[in-house]
Amino acid sequence: MNYNNSNSSSIPKDIILLAVRVFVGFAMLSHGYPKLQMLLAGGKIEFFDFLGMGPLVTLILTVIAEFVCSILLILGLFTRVSLGFLIFTMVIAGFVVHGADPFEKREMSLIYLSVYLLLMIIGAGKVSVDHLIERRKRASDW
């Protein structure tokens, strides 16, 4: 394989970015789906009250981040916007909700946070809806 060619050298990177997006997206869905079920159940909501917004609003925002944005991350659609919501949510989880807890309780949110920050810097890669949209947009500009 010729690694001097920029197209061929980006293929492994784009496959790895896809794998990371899909894995971390589905992993976060496992946290977001139970919260979505809690929201849809209609009972009394006992959830963290962030900045006095109330448990219901906080839960809705968390479901948007952990469920909706995870699906968008998997697709690579609105990736950086979705990552913004996910990063904010993990900062709150790691440093506010579990801020006084031992490291073991905060560890998972901090691992998610680090992966989200890396994806924010690197981007979704070429195997993403964002890339298809950008490519189509560039083609129509010609």
Residue 6 lies inside a defined structural domain of this protein: no
pTM: 0.89
Residue 134 lies in a domain: yes
Q: Is residue 4 part of a domain?
A: no
Q: Whole domain around residue 61: which residue ranges?
A: 11-140
- 36/53 Cα distance (integer angstroms): 18
The answer to the question of residue 68 being in a domain is: yes
Count how many domains the chain has: 1
Q: Per-residue pLDDT tens for 79-123? A: 999 999 999 999 999 999 999 999 999 999 999 999 999 999 999
Q: Residues 105-110: contacts with CB within 8 Å, 24+ apart?
A: none
Q: Over 80: is that where the pLDDT of 73 sits?
A: yes
- For residue 26, give Cα distances in angstroms to 1, 21, 70, 126: 32, 8, 7, 19
3 lies in some domain: no
